[in-house]
Amino acid sequence: RKKVTMTTLRNLYKKGEPIAMITAHDFPSARAADESGMDMVLVGDSLGMVAMGLENTTEIVMEEMLLHCRSVARGAKHAFLVGDLPMGSYEISPEQAVGSALRFIKEGRVHGVKIEGGEELAPTIKRITQAGIPVVGHIGLTPQRQNALGGFRVQGKTCVGAMKILQDALALQEAGVFMFVFEAMPPEVAALITSKLKVPTIGIGAGNGCSGQVLVQVDMTGNFQPGRFIPKFVKKYADVWGEATRGMIQYREEVKSREFPSPEYTYPISKEELAKFEK
């Protein structure tokens, strides 16, 4: 399989072939994503929740994101890799943002960065793209701003709300983003805005009229603890949690009963050597 580049993604978009993106947060999840033929792998700051146990994505910092990015970069050798600029790493100034983005490329070894926010980020995005770093915009529901949004809430459900998303999209496209993530908005709104843009849109909870889709790997593979909140847009394609705990429960029982390890899982010693040793 060939390495996915900006040109590959551009061609998929031109052909109208949906772009498949998934998140990864460590070496094995990156290997799995790459083996599954993903076009893009996102090291999303959702890893703060699914891999670190944080309440939301507001706490995670640069060093944590970079550590996870490096592990993912070692595991995903074909997909185009994007890392999430965490809250606090880009808002202060365009200079701060370009500094953070450069660290993602040089220390995180990803190929581009994603940044949450609307038209107010245009100067920032311009500055990062001028440094030669591909930027993915993220509009609609922007989880880093949940405190201001009033929680994880669907966006663009009114004409005014939809117009705001369109306005943000056009401003950020002008500023140079090569792609968008559209999160949690009605499918009609996402499709209409997608048709007005010249760059691909990757939907999550935004219907199938986008240019591609993204899901959080831990969610879609069912690799989460029972009771964790899962958004409506997550389709569960596997039951990794069920399979992993089933195996561990059996292992624990076999340890307790001494059924494990049976001889096939042990190293033999010859009778002669054993006899000498036992004397």
Catalytic residues: 183
- Please list the helix, strand and coil fractions of the chain in percent, rounded to the nearest 5, in that order: 45, 15, 40
CA angle 272, 277, 279 (to 5 degrees): 100
**Piece of the chain touching Na ion by CB under 5 A; list 77-85, 93-101, 169-177, 244-252:** 77-85
Nearer of residues 4 and 115 to ligand KIV, judged by Cβ: 115
Can you tell me which of 12, 20, 44, 168 binds ligand KIV, judged by CB under 6 A?
44
Residue in 209, 94, 96, 189 with CA at minimum distance from that of residue 139: 189
**Piece of the chain touching ligand KIV by CB under 6 A; list 43-51, 85-93, 105-113, 221-229:** 43-51
DSSP string, 236-266: ----HHHHHHHHHHHHHHHHHTT-SS-GGGS
Say which entry of ligand KIV, Na ion, none residue 162 contacts (CB below 5 to 8 A, set by partner kind).
Answer: none
Query: Does 212 help bind ligand KIV (rule: CB under 6 A)?
Result: no
Can you tell me which of 44, 48, 186, 200 binds Na ion, judged by CB under 5 A?
44
276's tokens: 């000498």
- DSSP code for 121: G
- The answer to whether 208 and 224 are in contact (CB under 8 A) is no
Can you tell me which of 4, 21, 22, 45 binds Na ion, judged by CB under 5 A?
45
What's the distance, CA 195 to chain centroid?
24
Site for ligand KIV in 23-42 (CB under 6 A): 23, 42
Q: How many helices (H) and strands (E) does the chain have?
A: 12, 8
Say which entry of ligand KIV, Na ion, none residue 216 contacts (CB below 5 to 8 A, set by partner kind).
Answer: ligand KIV
Query: Does 118 help bind ligand KIV (rule: CB under 6 A)?
Result: no
Site for ligand KIV in 67-86 (CB under 6 A): 84
Neighbours of 143 (CB within 10 A): 21
Nearer of residues 114 and 127 to ligand KIV, judged by Cβ: 114
Using CA atoms, how far apart are residues 234 and 213, in angstroms rounded to an integer?
11
Using CA atoms, how far apart are residues 201 and 18, in angstroms rounded to an integer?
10
The least distance separating ligand KIV from the CB of residue 60, rounded to whole angstroms, comes to 9
Nearer of residues 224 and 265 to Na ion, judged by Cβ: 224
By CB under 6 A, name the binding residues for ligand KIV: 23, 42, 44-46, 84, 181, 204, 214, 216
Binding residues for Na ion (CB under 5 A): 44-45, 84
